[in-house]
Amino acid sequence: MTPQEELFSSFFNAEKAFVKDMDILTLRAHREELAKIAFEARARLTAVDDEDKVRKGSNKENRGFSTSLQTDEITTNAINTIRARKDKMSKQEKLVENIMKLGIDRKTAEQMVSAGALKASLDSKFGSSSKPIAENKPISNPFAKTSEPETKSEISIQEETNTVIIREAKIEVEKTEFVNPFTKK
């Protein structure tokens, strides 16, 4: 257990033993007294935290921003990074506007631009791929019944002449339900 859990356990067990023999009215009065103590503690803790914030605010050395006439490399890089980000965002907004002119809604246009930015960042990290990721093959439904002839190869071995004959023929095959060959007939 953590130290806080151990402290809670000790307070809980002590209070449980203290209220064990109280009648219901005394128990409710004790609870109201504890609630008042907890409320007072919360108010006092808030006052301490507020004073701590005031003292930290009056300390001029701990300010987040400082003004200086001398610029260093870090400051210059930070300013340039902000400018580059602004230019990049304006380019993306221009792309979104141009895509919207083609009749595509804003959400889809933003998705298209973000996908392009993702691809560009991946290409810059891992190098651009010259070949496409997926080939453009027509998508067919494997469950659709088709009457296209399938090409089947037929191999027959003639033992007497020691020759192998391979014939390729287009055969119309009807698709039937699967029959389990291992079931008993």
Tens digits of per-residue pLDDT, 98-113?
888 888 888 888 888 7
Portion of the chain with pLDDT greater than 90, in percent: 25
* Rounded average pLDDT over 133-159: 58
Among 42, 20, 48, smallest CA distance to 34 is for: 42
- Domain residue limits, the chain: 12-57, 73-126
Tens digits of per-residue pLDDT, 87-99?
776 777 878 888 8
Tens digits of per-residue pLDDT, 37-77?
999 999 999 999 999 888 887 665 555 565 666 667 777 77
Higher pLDDT pick, 9 / 117: 9
Confidence category of residue 20, pLDDT binned at 50, 70, 90: very high
**SS3 letters for the chain?**
CCHHHHHHHHHHHHHHHHHCCCCHHHHHHHHHHHHHHHHHHHHHHHHHHHHHHHHHHHCHHHCCCCCCCCCCHHHHHHHHHHHHHHHHHHHHHHHHHHHHHCCCCHHHHHHHHHHHHHHHHHHHHHCCCCCCCCCCCCCCCCCCCCCCCEEEEEEEEECCCCEEEEEEEEECCCCCCCCCCCCCC
CB of 113 closer than 8 Å to CB of 92: yes
* Rounded average pLDDT over 157-172: 54
Confidence category of residue 80, pLDDT binned at 50, 70, 90: confident
* Rounded average pLDDT over 140-160: 57
